């Protein structure tokens, strides 16, 4: 066990895939109890089965759409008593849609990105953090992005949502000053997950081309960073971790010399 997280209750949004699922596996190896949240319940169930078999992880499924303020509030409020005391909230659920120039943007895509990446993250924070304040214990980890720092063609709304995550992370730390609650914003560069499949709505060729000829980060690389952040001593707040592939230097500067 790399770190001992026994008896720690950790809620992960976006646990059905990519970074969230990798994070669940790494936290499972450390003995944490996990609340697994996302919309696709069957994916959460199979992850839960795997975690139970591999590490005897205690899990609770919390299927929900973070875009619904009412569902988020009711789901968190309705958690069984033994799951109410959340030690770590990992606000990871998020997505991009399309790469259209702003002047031709699809309104529905904008709504989905803003409602998920910004408002959904806020709804979860609003539902969970008051309990942390009451208990005077907790840690919020937000998954931002390199996109907060580098605006790229067609990415302006997604980039704006991740800039918002950066500002909301800073703001939460400011508002929690005087409490022991910590706030971390992880800013990954390219990570190979379902992210590009979702962005290009199942156009696999286009999705694969995002990572072609370069070595992208794996979801485990980011789970490592999350684990590092939440296992520092109580007086250490890792505010930001900016993690990019060696083959990437900015949103658009990518070394693809490794071939097709």
Query: How far is residue 12's CA from residue 24's CA, in Å, rounded to a whole number?
Result: 7
DSSP letter for each residue of 147-203 = GGT---TT-HHHHHHHHHHHHHHHHHHHHTBTBS-EEEEEEE--B-SSHHHHHTTT-
Query: How far is residue 220's CA from residue 27's CA, in Å, rounded to a whole number?
Result: 11
Question: What is the β-pairing status of strands 139-143 and 182-188?
Answer: parallel
> Strands, E, within the chain: which ranges?
9-13, 33-38, 59-63, 88-91, 139-143, 182-188, 240-243
Give the CB-nearest residue to ligand 8X3: 145
Site for ligand 8X3 in 120-149 (CB under 6 A): 145-147
Q: Given the complex with ligand 8X3, which of 133 and 167 has the nearer CB atom? A: 167
We find the least distance from the C-beta atom of residue 212 to ligand 8X3, in angstroms, to be: 14
Residue of 55, 152, 158, 211 marked catalytic: 158
Total residues at interface with ligand 8X3 (CB under 6 A) = 7
Q: Given the complex with ligand NDP, which of 95 and 133 has the nearer CB atom? A: 95
Please list, in sequence order, all residues whose beta carbon lies within 8 angstroms of the beta carbon of residue 241, skipping any fewer than 6 positions away. Answer: 184, 185, 186, 187, 225, 228, 229
Find out whether 66 and 124 touch, Cβ atoms under 8 Å.
Answer: yes
We find the least distance from the C-beta atom of residue 237 to ligand 8X3, in angstroms, to be: 23
We find the least distance from the C-beta atom of residue 251 to ligand 8X3, in angstroms, to be: 5
Binds 251, which of ligand 8X3, ligand NDP, none (CB < 5 to 8 A, cut-off by type)? ligand 8X3
Binds 18, which of ligand 8X3, ligand NDP, none (CB < 5 to 8 A, cut-off by type)? ligand NDP
- When asked if residue 217 is in the footprint of ligand 8X3 (CB under 6 A), the reply is no
We find the least distance from the C-beta atom of residue 226 to ligand 8X3, in angstroms, to be: 15
Residue 158 a catalytic site member: yes
The catalytic site residues sit at: 158
What are the residues binding ligand 8X3 (CB under 6 A)?
145-147, 155, 158, 190, 251
């Amino acid at each position: 066990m790399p770190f001992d997280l026994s008896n720690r209750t950790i809620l992960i949004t976006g646990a059905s895939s990519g970074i969230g699922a990798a994070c669940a596996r790494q936290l499972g190896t450390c003995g944490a109890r996990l609340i697994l949240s996302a919309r696709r319940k069957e994916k959460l169930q199979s992850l839960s089965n795997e975690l139970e078999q591999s590490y005897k992880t205690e899990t609770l499924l919390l299927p929900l759409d973070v875009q619904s303020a009412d569902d988020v509030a009711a789901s968190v409020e309705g958690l069984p008593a033994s799951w109410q005391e959340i030690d770590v909230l990992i606000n990871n659920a998020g997505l991009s849609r399309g790469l259209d120039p702003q002047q031709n943007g699809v309104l529905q895509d904008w709504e989905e990105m803003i409602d998920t990446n910004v408002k959904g993250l806020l709804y979860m924070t609003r539902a969970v953090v008051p309990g942390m304040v009451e208990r005077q214990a907790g840690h919020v980890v937000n998954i931002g992005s390199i996109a907060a720092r580098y605006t790229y063609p067609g990415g302006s709304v997604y980039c704006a949502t991740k800039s918002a995550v950066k500002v909301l992370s800073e703001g939460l730390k400011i508002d929690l000053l005087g409490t022991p609650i910590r706030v971390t914003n992880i800013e990954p560069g390219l990570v190979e997950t379902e992210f590009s499949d979702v962005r290009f709505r199942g156009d696999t060729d286009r999705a694969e081309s995002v990572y072609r000829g370069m070595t992208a980060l794996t979801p485990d690389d980011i789970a490592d960073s999350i684990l590092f952040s939440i296992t520092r001593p109580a007086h250490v707040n890792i505010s930001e971790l900016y993690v990019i592939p060696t083959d990437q230097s900015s949103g658009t500067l990518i070394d693809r010399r490794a071939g097709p």
